[in-house]
Amino acid sequence: MRRTSLVTILVFVAGLGIGYFARGAMGTAHGRDMHAADLAAIEKLHAADVEATLTQDSNQLLDLWSDDCVKLGVPGPAIVGKKGVQEVYQKFRADHPDFKVLKYAPAIQDVQVADGWAIEWVYYDATFKMSAKDNPVSMRRKDLRVLQRQSDGSWKFSREAETD
């Protein structure tokens, strides 16, 4: 009887060990799948950013931002919330109705994802015309952006610090 109890205990402990390692391996695979899904959704946001910037579609531009977004680095105080971003876009379009983006090429340097947030920094080259009669202006900027996973799994820009 002692021998049976010892065998039972050994089998039980072995089962715990196997279960522990199997769960860890599955958790790691699940983590890789989730990370890959996040990166794919972030890439979709990047593509939408390029399209919206090139077309200057105000609804598409606004849809890139989370409801509680904050933009730093633009002239004046920080822009807080989607309504604030919308007001800035509307004022800019009213002041510059012929504004046209000719080139917008972001080069994402690094994306770090953790717990529904992502941090990235980006160089981007842009060429634009403030009006139809103006010469094109080219610029290179660098930004730091914080992205937030939305409840539907998509990602939006949540914080942006623009630099020259």
Q: In angstroms, what CA-CA distances link 150 with 16, 68, 157? A: 37, 12, 10
What are the tens digits of pLDDT across the range 76-88? 899 999 999 999 9
Count other Cβ atoms within 10 Å, centred on residue 143.
18
What is the pLDDT at residue 161? Answer: 94
Q: Are strands 117-129 and 137-149 parallel, antiparallel or unpaired?
A: antiparallel
Residue ranges and CATH numbers for the domains of the chain are 41-162 (3.10.450.50)
Contact 64, 82 (CB under 8 A): no
Where the chain has pLDDT below 50, the residues are: 6-7, 10-14, 16-26
What are the tens digits of pLDDT across the range 19-42? 444 444 445 555 677 789 999 999
Contact 66, 80 (CB under 8 A): no
What is the pLDDT at residue 128? Answer: 97
User: How high does pLDDT run on average in the chain?
Assistant: 86
Which residue in 41, 47, 61 sits closest to 118, CA to CA?
A: 41
